[in-house]
Amino acid sequence: MSAWSPLHYRVYRILWIALLASNIGTWMQAVGAAWMMVELDASPAIVALVQTATYLPVVFVGVLAGAAADMIERRRLLLITQGFMFAAAGGLAVLAAFGAVTPLLLLAFTFALGLGATFNFPAWQAIQPELVPAHELKQAVTLGGANINLGRAIGPAIGGLLIAAAGPWLVFALNAASFAFVLVVLWRWKRPVEEDVGPPERFAGAVRAGVRYAMFSHILRGVLVRSFAFGAASAGLMSLLPVYASQVLGWGSGGLGLLFGAMGAGAVATAAVIPWVRERLSADWVFAVGSVLVAGALVALALVHGPVLAVLVIFVAGIGWLFCLSTLNVASQEVLPGWVRARGLALYLTAISAGIALGSALWGKLATSTSVPAAYAWSALLLVVTVALARRWRFDRIAEVDLRPAPMAAPEARLVEDGNADSPALVVVAYEIRPEAEDEFLRALRLVGRVRRRTGATDWSVYRDADKSHRFIETFVLPSWDEHLRQHQRRTVTDFELQQDLHQYLRPGTEPTAKHFVAPPEPSMRLWIR
């Protein structure tokens, strides 16, 4: 498979080009904002806060953004987010042109752009499986990462030259123009929308369902933990690069652009060979190699004070960076079924952004109290330590899960009137179990319990019948009858297989029996008065 094969698909290719334009503008903006903060004589801690302001919105509203992307038609949501970022970048350009930008105002506009990106990311990532066949998804996701890094290679170099020639206002204006270009492409794209045959979700319920899925998915939780750890440990590399360029190397905005560009170039070069690497190494090994490369680059930056060597080291850091980020991106895509994909991707973005936001602030404070090289050295040590998380949460386990939709269950025996569809529901399932298989059955049933909670149940329990010792009762509660109907739609092939495994422990000639209950409506006030 060619590294660039997803570009053969027309819609993917057009959107990829539009995204490249936006990423070039975004990285020009990043250089402009960081260098403007340096020109305002801010301390390393304040300069590092530019990256914190970029990622902090995800921590606040990332989960809400994911729910919005699963509920709102995604093309429409992308149009809204791109329009918001166009307005924010344009406003900052105008203020910068008139010399009215202060450090606080710059952080505020950076936060606004990060807010738009927060709502943009889950919707953009969630449409990827619609644009290419399933066997091309891994490379399409990797090309998405390469797109960001190609923008990082081109944008900072151009941005640094434009800042030196005309000032930061020009790169802010060009960033706004890049959002305008994406708006035109999205407006012309006629996305086919699949009809949702299930009951519509409400926003608050959708948010809770996404969080509940993450809580009871061990594999997704591992991706989130490792994303946060990598983000926190490596955040200092990018957030302190403007200070490193000015204080250690003695460079101006052009030199900073060159450093950013070298990192992007390393990542782009890696995109061409990463399919070959994945064929020979497992996902965990790819991530470990990438972490070691980034850590080694951080140590080298702490020791190297020569411009040429610094550029080469940053190039190597870009290679390791793409190894790690592409592994995390692919894992977050592959671990999520379609019904919760955008919400899960938002949780992934929230985890890695929280790590970057926190890490940027902490490494900035450390650099202020010691030095940038010292902060880089400690960052490298922490990054190597985080690789040990693979002992508990392995990316390779994702291949064990089949997230294709399971066959729909038979219609429920009991119909619920529309007026009671929002009432809490209780499901009771009875099993007749062979005495010698009780322990194995209970272990298997607890796995099924995780499935029930992952797909919508707010409470789950198991009981033994006090009158029949071989009879076990499984109960689970859902916030509404509609949520129970959605639960049937959300079941994956792996979920179905876990439920089918319970049958091997049943007494001969028996089958599980299920009963459904719905909470009755509240009595009227008139009855209470009597």
User: Taking the CA of residue 430 as centre, how many other CA atoms within 13 Å lie in the half-sphere pointing to its CB?
Assistant: 11
Tokens at 410, concatenated: 């038979």
The average pLDDT across 84-89 equals: 94
445 and 472 Cβ atoms separated by less than 8 Å: yes
What integer pLDDT is reported at residue 413 of this predicted model?
A: 44
The average pLDDT across 505-517 equals: 92
Whether residue 421 is predicted with pLDDT greater than 70 in this model: the reply is no
Average pLDDT over all residues of the chain:
84
Whether residue 302 is predicted with pLDDT greater than 70 in this model: the reply is yes
Tokens at 95, concatenated: 């203020």
Q: Report the distance separating Cα 85 and Cα 396, nearest Å.
A: 37
What integer pLDDT is reported at residue 498 of this predicted model?
A: 92
Percentage of the residues of the chain whose pLDDT score is greater than 70: 92
505 and 442 Cβ atoms separated by less than 8 Å: no
Tokens at 348, concatenated: 């992934």
What integer pLDDT is reported at residue 306 of this predicted model?
A: 83
- 418-529 CATH pick, 3.90.1150.10, 1.10.1510.10, 3.30.70.100, 3.30.70.360: 3.30.70.100
Q: Report the distance separating Cα 126 and Cα 124, nearest Å.
A: 6
Confidence band for 293, pLDDT divided at 50, 70 and 90:
very high
What integer pLDDT is reported at residue 524 of this predicted model?
A: 57
What integer pLDDT is reported at residue 210 of this predicted model?
A: 81
Q: What is the DSSP letter of 149?
A: H
Q: Report the distance separating Cα 65 and Cα 59, nearest Å.
A: 11
What integer pLDDT is reported at residue 2 of this predicted model?
A: 58
What integer pLDDT is reported at residue 199 of this predicted model?
A: 57
Each domain of the chain, given as residue ranges in start order, spans 5-194+201-400, 418-529
How many helices (H) and strands (E) are present in the chain, helices listed first? 20, 4
Q: Report the distance separating Cα 296 and Cα 312, nearest Å.
A: 12
476 and 440 Cβ atoms separated by less than 8 Å: no
Whether residue 411 is predicted with pLDDT greater than 60 in this model: the reply is no
101 and 139 Cβ atoms separated by less than 8 Å: no
The average pLDDT across 505-515 equals: 92
What integer pLDDT is reported at residue 197 of this predicted model?
A: 47
What integer pLDDT is reported at residue 419 of this predicted model?
A: 56
Higher pLDDT, 150 or 298: 298
Whether residue 527 is predicted with pLDDT greater than 80 in this model: the reply is no
Q: In sequence order, which residues have a C-beta less than 8 Å from that of residue 526 and are 6 or more positions away?
A: none
Most confident option among 27-31, 336-340, 423-427: 423-427
Q: What is the DSSP letter of 492?
A: B
Q: Report the distance separating Cα 530 and Cα 222, nearest Å.
A: 56
The average pLDDT across 310-332 equals: 89
Tokens at 277, concatenated: 């690497």
Tokens at 181, concatenated: 């270009």
Q: Report the distance separating Cα 389 and Cα 334, nearest Å.
A: 19
Residue 463 pairs in a beta bridge with 473
Confidence band for 155, pLDDT divided at 50, 70 and 90:
confident
**Distance from chain centroid for Cα 468:** 48
Tokens at 332, concatenated: 């977050």
What integer pLDDT is reported at residue 481 of this predicted model?
A: 86
Is 1.20.5.510 the CATH number for 5-194+201-400?
no
Q: Report the distance separating Cα 216 and Cα 451, nearest Å.
A: 8
Write the secondary structure of 365-416 as one string of H (helix), E (strand) and C (coil). HHHHHCCHHHHHHHHHHHHHHHHHHHHCCCHHHHHHCCCCECCCCCCCCCCC
**Distance from chain centroid for Cα 278:** 21
What integer pLDDT is reported at residue 300 of this predicted model?
A: 94
Higher pLDDT, 497 or 193: 497
Q: Report the distance separating Cα 273 and Cα 265, nearest Å.
A: 13
- Which of these ranges, 170-179, 239-248, 379-388, 393-402, has the smallest mean pLDDT? 393-402
- Which of these ranges, 198-212, 410-424, 482-496, 503-517, has the smallest mean pLDDT? 410-424
Q: Report the distance separating Cα 151 and Cα 139, nearest Å.
A: 18
Q: Largest alpha-carbon pair distance within the chain? A: 88
366 and 378 Cβ atoms separated by less than 8 Å: yes
Whether residue 397 is predicted with pLDDT greater than 90 in this model: the reply is no
Confidence band for 526, pLDDT divided at 50, 70 and 90:
low
> What pairing do the DSSP bridges indicate for beta strands 471-478 and 513-518?
unpaired
User: Coil, helix or strand for 306?
Assistant: coil
Q: Report the distance separating Cα 341 and Cα 151, nearest Å.
A: 26
Q: What is the pLDDT of residues 334-387, one digit of tens each?
A: 888 877 877 888 888 889 888 988 898 899 999 999 999 999 999 999 999 999
User: Taking the CA of residue 229 as centre, how many other CA atoms within 13 Å lie in the half-sphere pointing to its CB?
Assistant: 21
DSSP string, 324-339: HHHHHHHHHHHT--GG
64 and 154 Cβ atoms separated by less than 8 Å: no
